[in-house]
Amino acid sequence: MKKIYSVLMLLAMLSASMAFSSCNKEDNDTPEDAYAYLHRSFTGKLICQDESRTDSVVMDTLDASWSINASNKLTIAHVPLVKMLVGVDNAELIEAANAMATQTLAADVSVVHVTPIVFSVLPQALTVAVRFGGSDHLLRITFASGSNLSWGSYSVNDQSMVINIMETGVYLDGSTTNLLPERKPLLWSTEQKVHPVM
């Protein structure tokens, strides 16, 4: 798991550093300008751990779409629930999640750096009803907030964006027992050339 975290963080840092080192046309931009660049819809890839992995780290890439509105609300559509349960040791829950519709993640964003644009992401917990084992269960998935763990960057030059959201917990029926063995990153990128496989 540390290897996947390292790969995703390296990928995210590489994308951010390319944005930092590029010749920026937004050198004189204000925070208001930065927000204006972000207020639109994006398409790209969700890069995450494959749920069928064994001992090796296998990455999966899925088509993804997200948007940031004028109220600085990030909405990430069509996220497969099973992708957020990789590593959870509960076969019935995984099977039920596999059969469920995709989910929508919501978060607030706050620009922390203007040139280049870097923003913190404050994700809301995802709560969803899941039926397995003959009864209904309440599943809650939590995420880290703040620019050091959940963040994004945007390049005005090539209009590329990277969003990294750190998943921190999976809980059932109000229990305080975390079913997620360790936190894991979920990465969204507009750069189509990003396909890490190990």
For residue 68, the one-letter residue type is I
> Please, what is the average pLDDT of the chain?
85
pLDDT at 78: 95
> What is the percent of the chain where pLDDT is above 70?
78
pLDDT at 10: 46
The DSSP bridge partners found for residue 169 are 142
Two tokens, residue 147: 């620019």
- All residue ranges of the chain with pLDDT < 70 are 1-27, 51-58, 192-198
Radius of gyration of the CA atoms of the chain, in A: 17
pLDDT at 19: 46
pLDDT at 146: 78
pLDDT at 58: 66
In this prediction the pTM is 0.81
pLDDT at 24: 47
pLDDT at 160: 93
pLDDT at 28: 73
Two tokens, residue 33: 């300008």
pLDDT at 18: 47
Sign of CA dihedral 120, 84, 142, 104: positive
Two tokens, residue 32: 């208001």
pLDDT at 75: 98
How far is residue 121's CA from residue 66's CA, in Å, rounded to a whole number?
Answer: 13
